[in-house]
Structure 1
Amino acid sequence: MEEKFAYVEGAEQPISMHPKKFALWLFIVTVVMIFASLTSAYIVRQSEGNWLEFDLPQIFWYSSGIIILSSLTLHWSYLSAKKDELNAVKTGMIITTILGVAFLVSQWYSWVALVDRDVYFVGNPAGSFLYVFTGLHAIHLISGVIFLIIVLISSFNYKVHSKNIVSLEMCMNYWHFLGGLWLYLFMFLLLNH
């Protein structure tokens, strides 16, 4: 008995992802879950009463602008890498790294502003949550700045270009996520303090 084989046009390709990208997305999901649980705990604890009312430091607005600008410069660097404009890649990476460090410095100054308003980590839960939110975000941002530095060094060694863009793409996705996370936290705090 003869079997017939038919050619199928447009057969579906299996969905595949670079293993490092997959690991990054798993990490991002974990971070989302951590901050979702913290913001939920914030709402629950706030409803119990004994909640310190205070204005958020003005520097939060500036740091939000810094993180948005850094995402734009990193995206510019990514688009430049896709077009093999290597000098623009380096320039974008340098600017983004400087802005990332500036964001961390602004977070430090936000803690100084909180202390000036007599809002401390120990004491009222409202202050404790604020320090935990900003501190935990800063820890993740430090890892993001380290990632930026690694990609920056790679760009100066001509290892970031249109044919080798995975590290820059991963860095960009993580950095955009951190920026989005900060904006979420800032809006959450504005609406719920």
Structure 2
Amino acid sequence: PLPLPRLLWLNTGVLVLSSVALQCAVVAARKGQIDNVRLGLATAGFTTLAFLIGQLMAWRQLTGDGYLLASNPANSFFYLITGMHGLHILGGLVGLGRTSIGAWDGARPERLRLGVELCAMYWHFLLFVWLCIFALLAGWAATFIDICQRLLT
């Protein structure tokens, strides 16, 4: 079986920080605090880039240890799922970049607030998806199903 690199734990924490930073930007946008909006957007951008770099480092670690994409279906599944998640995050960075440009170029407050709220919603969703992926990869899915079955019976 494919071992879960410890780096993924750090990456998970970094992605949580990114989502928190965007939520702080939402609160600041609603209050009209443009400097705090900018800080939240910049923090989210940098932490998201750190997450993506961390994911690439985890891939490199795994391939260096001989866990190659084509070695077996489990490896292929890992690279496919984490790669697709990374691509969605890259897409989110495009939206975050546009919103950030608006924050520095003096976008109308209501337009900026909407952009920040949409980015945060997308980020929170991607965080939720990552937490589900991470739980699945860590082998917690069976435990979760057992807990749910006990609660329902």
- Report the TM-score, using the length of structure 1 for normalisation: 0.70
Tell me the alpha carbon deviations over residues 58-80 of structure 1, each in whole angstroms, 9 at most, x when there is no partner.
11001000000000011001100
Task: Find the counterpart in structure 2 of residue 128 from structure 1.
Answer: 76
Greater percentage in helix: 2
- Cα distance, 1:192 vs structure 2: 6.2
For residue 174 of structure 1, what is the amino acid of its counterpart? Y
What is the Cα-based RMSD across aligned positions, in Å? 1.4
Q: Distance in 1 between matches of 2:78 and 2:108?
A: 38
Q: Distance in 1 between matches of 2:100 and 2:54?
A: 22
Equivalent of 1:116 in 44, 51, 64:
64
Q: Distance in 2 between matches of 1:121 and 1:97?
A: 29
Equivalent of 1:63 in 3, 8, 11:
11
Aligned length: 140
- Cα distance, 1:160 vs structure 2: 5.6
Paired residues for 1:2-13 under 5 Å: none
Q: Distance in 1 between matches of 2:14 and 2:23?
A: 14
SS at match of 1:77: helix
Paired residues for 1:84-163 under 5 Å: 84-159=32-107, 161=109, 163=110
- Report the TM-score, using the length of structure 2 for normalisation: 0.87
Percent of aligned pairs sharing the same letter: 30
1:171 aligns with 2:119: yes
Tell me the alpha carbon deviations over residues 30-78 of structure 1, each in whole angstroms, 9 at most, x when there is no partner.
xxxxxxxxxxxxxxxxxxxxxxx13211110010000000000110011
Greater Cα radius of gyration, structure 1 or 2? 1
5+ long unaligned stretches in structure 1: 1-52
Q: Distance in 1 between matches of 2:21 and 2:99?
A: 14
- Cα distance, 1:191 vs structure 2: 1.1
Q: Distance in 2 between matches of 1:145 and 1:156?
A: 16
For residue 85 of structure 1, what is the amino acid of its counterpart? Q
Task: Find the counterpart in structure 2 of residue 43 from structure 1.
Answer: none
Runs (4 or more) in structure 1 with deviation over 3 Å come to: none
5+ long unaligned stretches in structure 2: 142-153
Asked if structure 1 preserves the Cα contact closer than 8 Å seen for 2:5 and 2:62, the reply is: yes
